[in-house]
Amino acid sequence: QEQLVESGGGLVQAGGSLTLSCAFSGLPFSGVNMGWYRQAPGKERESIATVRWNGESAYYAESVKGRFTISKDNAKYTLYLQLNRLKPEDTAIYYCNAAPGSDPTSFVAWGQGTQVSVFS
């Protein structure tokens, strides 16, 4: 069964760091471009980082470029997002799924996400 399980969120002071993980099962994960998304209160879900299927060539939204790093471990079926120099505006629920523009069959039902809360 296809499943995504995000973890690693928490409450952190501005300037701090977190590492998010996304365990992926039920699909040929190694052949899929993957992405991290986030949804802040009162806002739509947005794509913030993507990585190619082989772990090379990443894309970042301007709001997180230089602070966040996406990586993919195909052997462990896990996607990661390293969050550094966090800001209060990074507060959101973070989700993973296939990258935007991927074949529709690559997407699975959204998981519950993991909450990141940043206080100043």
pLDDT digits (tens, 9 = 90+) for 52-104: 988 888 899 999 999 999 999 988 989 999 999 999 999 999 999 999 999 98
| Per-residue 3-state assignment (H helix, E strand, C coil) for 50-80 | EECCCCCCEEECCCCCCCEEEEEEHHHCEEE
| Region for residue 14 given its phi and psi (left: phi exceeds 0; alpha: psi -120 to 50; beta: otherwise) | beta
Tell me how far apart the alpha carbons of residues 52 and 5 are, in angstroms, rounded to a whole number.
Answer: 20
Q: What percent of the chain has pLDDT over 90?
A: 73
Residue the block writes with tokens 């991927």: 102
Q: Are 47 and 37 in contact (CB under 8 A)?
A: yes
